[in-house]
Every structure is written in C-alpha cells, then in structure tokens.
Chains A and B, each alone.
Chain A
C-alpha cells in the first residue's frame, strides 16, 4: 500500500518535470531565433541601411525602398480589408440572432486557416494575371488574410460593450444604426484597434502571397499597377542569394521586421491590459 503510494508520487514528480521541460524545449528555438536575429541583424544596421535602396552585388545599400513598398502595400491592404472586417464584425455582434451569423462565423474561422499561398494564387488568377504583377494584386491577397482577424476581434470587443448601454441609447430614441456607430463602436474602439494591429502584424510578415502576386522588385515604388519592394519577401530573396552583402541585409531586414511586429504586439498588450486585470 505504501509502495503503491510512493510510486504514484514519483510518477507525479516525473510528469511535472516532463511538462516543464516541454515548455523549456519549446522556448529554446524562440530564444535562439531572437538572439541570432538580434546579433546578426545589429551588424547590418547603419545609416545607409535606412536611407539607400537595394544594392547590386558588392555595393553599399539598404532597405529604404522595401520599407516604402511595404508601407504602401500594407496601407492599400488595410483600406480594402479593414472596413469589410469591421462591418462583418458589427454584423456578427449586433445581429447575432440572424440565421446568417453562424455560417459566416464558421466561414471566417475556416478562411483564417487557409494557406496564405493559396490566397496568393487566388490574387494572381483574379488580378495579377489580368493587369500583371502589381501592388494591387498583393494588397488584395493580404486584405483577404486580414478580414477574418479584424472580423473576429471586432465581434469580440463589441460583445464586451454592455447591453444596458445599447438599451439606454435606444430608450433615448436614438436609432439603432446610430447607436451602433456612435456608441457601441466607440465602446469597442480599443478592441477594434487591437484587431487591426494584429492583422497588420500578421500580413507584414507574409511573403508567400506577395511572391506570387507581386514578385521581386529591387527599385523604388513606381505605381500601384506595378510591383513594389517588400521587406518579408526580401528576406527570402536575400537569404537564398550567394552574395555576402545581400545576406547581411537579410538579417537586417529580419531584425527590422521582428522589431516592428514586437512593437505592435507590445502595443496590443498595452491596449488590452485592462481586460486581464
């Protein structure tokens, strides 16, 4: 009897150690990635890095054109994706008794799990195959990746706005749509901003859909109907190249991208802090 108890106790200890080690094992690659990106990336960063465009072999250069191209592409993607995401989030939250809301929510969940390269191919067939590799095609694909993220966070944050507030507004004779736009949306503002930031962080790191809709572009932005340079895609291009200066730029771009995404996720933490306390 006593032995049995001891065995169970030992087993319990052993499993506790195993569970903790699973966490530690998962953290090793994370720290390795962050460390390597910071060390190798820091070497690449200087004034030229931020001011010059992609260099040719052996010359000095930077990622200025990639930052410009990425900002333009992300901006256009947001213009397309954010309104659609917020409006469908409103629909799911404010009209959740509608027959449509359950299927829409399900499709959203499924859409968010689609491989981004497939979304890219969709953008290629629909747009790039007609007007050519372009910022428009890339932004369209990235917008599709944004929509489910924005929709979901909008819905969740609007649901946290108390029903009493809606009732109070309606009792004052304010129309429902005005209540939603001016009162409910205002209450869920933080959550919506969080959702948009989350979506931006996600698409800033997407390179597969960009590759098949826009391709490489080593120069400055020259129109929405032509390709533009892209940070994430550059990392791929530079990493598989045999040129030393390009490989250095790959690490620099990775550092820049990770700092950007890290900055966004810290901002999100600050915005949502109230929720957890």
Chain B
C-alpha cells in the first residue's frame, strides 16, 4: 500500500474524503435540528409557564377555577376533561366509519377506484381546520339544531346527557366535527395496515370456503394492534385540534357541562380564544402552562401511536417475508 500510492495521491484521497465527511456532518447536523426543536420546545414551554408552575405547581392540573380578573387563580382540570370528552365523542363516531373505509379500500375496491377514493379522503384531510369551523357555524349548527338534536332529545331526553337547552354549538357539535376531521387519518393508516396483512392469510381462509366478510374478520384480527395504533393517531389529532373546536364548542369555562348540548372548553380552544387578550403575566403564563400540558399529553399519545404502528407494520411485513 505504502509503496504503490504516491504522496500526492494520498493527499488527493484525503481531500476527497474530507469533502464527503463535511457533507455527511452538515446533513447530520440538519437532521438533528428536529431533535433540537423538540428539546428546545420542552425547555421554552417550561420557561414560559414558569410563573404559573411556581404559583400553582401540580395543583394546576387538578384546579377547577379560571379567574383572570379578580383572584388570578388558574386550574386546568375542566379543560383537560373537555379535550378528552370531545375526543372520545369524535372517536366513537369516526372509528367504525374509518375502519369500514379502510377495509373497503384494501379488500373490496379495485386499484383504479382505490386511487380515486383515496384522493377524496386526502381532500378531506386537506381542508383547513378553520374552514371546518366556518362550515360548522353557518351550515352544521343550524342543521343539527333544527333537524337532529330535537329528535335525539325526544328519544333520549330522559338521560341527563341529552337534556337541557339546545344552543346548536356545544360539546356534541364539536365532537361531530372532530370526527369528520379525523376520519382521513384513521382510515388511511388502517388501510395501510390491512394491506400489509400477508395474502397467505386470506388464501387460507378463502380455501376453507369463507365469505368475503369472514375473510375481512381474519384480516382485522391479524391487524388488530395496527388499527389500535391508527386510532391512537386519530386521538392525537383530535386532542390538538384547535380552530374548528374554538368556533363550535361555545367557549365557556365550567367544571362540567349540564349536557352534551351545553357549551364547554378544551385546552386548545382556550389558548386560541384568550391568548391575544391575556393581559397580566400570570394569565399568559397560565395559558402557556395549558399549552405545556397539551404538549405532554399529545407527546405521550403520539409516541405510543407511532410505536404501535411501527411495530405492527414491521411485524406483519416480517412474517410475510418469512
């Protein structure tokens, strides 16, 4: 080696490798910025909510007052409950529909039609949140108030959940719009998971004389954990959704709403609605603290969801290869 390569050649090779090394480091640096952003986010959100954290501590999460005018006492429990309730309603409505669409796309529809349908589902995902809100205010609310809610109340009015005055906007309306908004993500991820189920599974059950639906059941049970991942991803979306909810939920801070037709608040909605009007430092800090809480909850949900989806896709694909 030493004898064959002249000095200039080695220098040339070194220079060459240096250029490559620099490029590799530069691109690695850029790739690490996302990591940096997440770390910085935790730091900055904590810094911004420091005043609130010092004053209320963990009591912020369990507190049930929100008084920016007189006592300057802040607690976020009703907001957390509001976020969880609207998300739960959204999941209850959207999960069966989305799994249906996922199955349809992976098991029933031809490739050509699938292309068209997935375009439509993508379109649904591309409509901005604020347009859902606009449509909700001027189209959905009047429709639900006049044509749907009175009937629900006539049938289920004896339950406390469905009693009380109907305003149009409120917890249920926000949940319905959230459901519409998270159908695309749940259905596209579950389609992906269903499509990843190996063909041999289907062939085996079909050869036993199963109907199409029975085949679908096998596919679903095979892809169960992936579907759970898809649902968790949808939950993550619903938890963080802001503008449409702010425009439709009525924005009233109360510990519990009187019914599903009543106005309430969510974590994201209170930030959007009150942030630009917040005057005192502690008020701003409390709102950022709500943001930090929302961040931590959605971080947890997202990490769990991604881990599940990743694991299943790898597991399913691994089996199909073997």
Residues of chain A having any CB pair with chain B under 8 Å: 8-9, 11-12, 15-16, 18-23, 25-27, 29-30, 32-33, 36-37, 40, 83-84, 87-88, 90-92, 94-95, 98, 100-101, 103-104, 106-111, 113-119, 121-122, 124-126, 129, 144, 147-148, 151, 175-178, 180, 201-202, 204-208, 211-212, 215-216, 232-233, 235-236, 239-240, 247, 250-251, 254, 257-258, 261-262, 265, 269, 276
- In the complex, what distance in Å separates the CA atom of A131 from the CA atom of B66? 29
The answer to whether B27 touches A207, judged by C-beta atoms less than 8 angstroms apart, is no
The answer to whether B242 touches A91, judged by C-beta atoms less than 8 angstroms apart, is no
- Residues of A contacting B26 in the complex (Cβ-Cβ under 8 angstroms): 87
The answer to whether A239 touches B276, judged by C-beta atoms less than 8 angstroms apart, is no
- In the complex, what distance in Å separates the CA atom of A110 from the CA atom of B211? 39
Instruction: Provide the B104-124 mask, 1 if CB < 8 A to any CB of A, else 0.
Output: 100010000001010111111
Whether a CB of chain A sits under 8 angstroms from the CB of B41 is yes
Query: Which residue of chain A is the closest to B33 with respect to CB atoms?
Result: A84
Most chain A CB within 10 A, of B28, B115, B131, B134, is at B131
Stretch at the interface among B69-77, B157-165, B200-208, B299-307: B299-307
Partner of B48, one of A90, A125, A208: A125
Partner of B101, one of A23, A94, A113, A116: A23
- Residues of A contacting B31 in the complex (Cβ-Cβ under 8 angstroms): 87-88, 91-92, 100-101, 104, 151
How large, as a class, is the contact surface on chain B? 35 or more
Partner of B124, one of A30, A107, A175, A239: A30
- CB-CB under 8 A for A36 and B44, given A22-B97, A87-B31, A117-B268: no
Residues of chain B having any CB pair with chain A under 8 Å: 16, 19-20, 22-24, 26-28, 30-35, 37-38, 40-41, 44-45, 47-48, 96-101, 103-104, 108, 115, 117, 119-124, 126-135, 137-139, 180, 183, 187, 211-214, 216, 233, 236-237, 239-243, 246-247, 268, 271-272, 275-276, 288, 291, 294-295, 298-299, 302-303, 305-306, 310
The answer to whether A269 touches B104, judged by C-beta atoms less than 8 angstroms apart, is no
The answer to whether B128 touches A115, judged by C-beta atoms less than 8 angstroms apart, is no
- Residues of B contacting A91 in the complex (Cβ-Cβ under 8 angstroms): 27-28, 30-31
A67 to chain B, nearest CB (A): 15
- In the complex, what distance in Å separates the CA atom of A205 from the CA atom of B271? 18
- CB-CB under 8 A for A239 and B23, given A115-B239, A118-B240: no
Most chain B CB within 10 A, of A83, A116, A262, is at A116
- In the complex, what distance in Å separates the CA atom of A11 from the CA atom of B216? 12
Contacts A104-B35, A147-B37, A151-B34 known; 9 new A-B pairs at CB < 8 A: A12-B212, A15-B212, A16-B212, A26-B98, A84-B30, A202-B126, A205-B128, A207-B128, A212-B275
The answer to whether A115 touches B247, judged by C-beta atoms less than 8 angstroms apart, is no
Partner of B134, one of A20, A30, A118, A254: A254
- In the complex, what distance in Å separates the CA atom of A43 from the CA atom of B19? 59
Partner of A250, one of B121, B134, B237, B295: B134
The answer to whether A177 touches B19, judged by C-beta atoms less than 8 angstroms apart, is yes
A164 to chain B, nearest CB (A): 20
- Residues of A contacting B138 in the complex (Cβ-Cβ under 8 angstroms): 36, 40, 239, 247
- Residues of A contacting B299 in the complex (Cβ-Cβ under 8 angstroms): 110, 114
The answer to whether B276 touches A110, judged by C-beta atoms less than 8 angstroms apart, is no
- Give the top 7 A-B pairs by smallest Cβ distance, nearest first: A115-B240, A205-B128, A22-B100, A177-B23, A87-B30, A88-B31, A125-B48
The answer to whether B294 touches A208, judged by C-beta atoms less than 8 angstroms apart, is no
A262 to chain B, nearest CB (A): 8
- Residues of B contacting A115 in the complex (Cβ-Cβ under 8 angstroms): 239-242, 268, 294-295, 298
The answer to whether A208 touches B233, judged by C-beta atoms less than 8 angstroms apart, is no
A13 to chain B, nearest CB (A): 9
A36 to chain B, nearest CB (A): 5
The answer to whether B134 touches A232, judged by C-beta atoms less than 8 angstroms apart, is no
A-B contact pairs, 13 of them (CB 8 A): A29-B180, A36-B138, A84-B30, A94-B27, A122-B45, A180-B23, A206-B128, A211-B276, A212-B272, A235-B128, A239-B133, A262-B123, A265-B126
- In the complex, what distance in Å separates the CA atom of A203 from the CA atom of B180? 20
The answer to whether B34 touches A16, judged by C-beta atoms less than 8 angstroms apart, is no
- CB-CB under 8 A for A207 and B243, given A15-B216, A110-B302: yes
- In the complex, what distance in Å separates the CA atom of A261 from the CA atom of B100? 27
The answer to whether A236 touches B124, judged by C-beta atoms less than 8 angstroms apart, is no
The answer to whether B104 touches A11, judged by C-beta atoms less than 8 angstroms apart, is no
- CB-CB under 8 A for A114 and B128, given A91-B27, A240-B247: no
- In the complex, what distance in Å separates the CA atom of A17 from the CA atom of B216? 14
- Residues of A contacting B22 in the complex (Cβ-Cβ under 8 angstroms): 177
- Residues of A contacting B123 in the complex (Cβ-Cβ under 8 angstroms): 30, 262, 265
B218 to chain A, nearest CB (A): 13
Query: Which residue of chain A is the closest to B305 with respect to CB atoms?
Result: A113
The answer to whether B213 touches A118, judged by C-beta atoms less than 8 angstroms apart, is no
- Residues of A contacting B268 in the complex (Cβ-Cβ under 8 angstroms): 115, 117, 208
Most chain A CB within 10 A, of B35, B115, B132, is at B35
B139 to chain A, nearest CB (A): 5
- In the complex, what distance in Å separates the CA atom of A207 from the CA atom of B131? 10
- Residues of B contacting A19 in the complex (Cβ-Cβ under 8 angstroms): 100-101, 103-104, 108
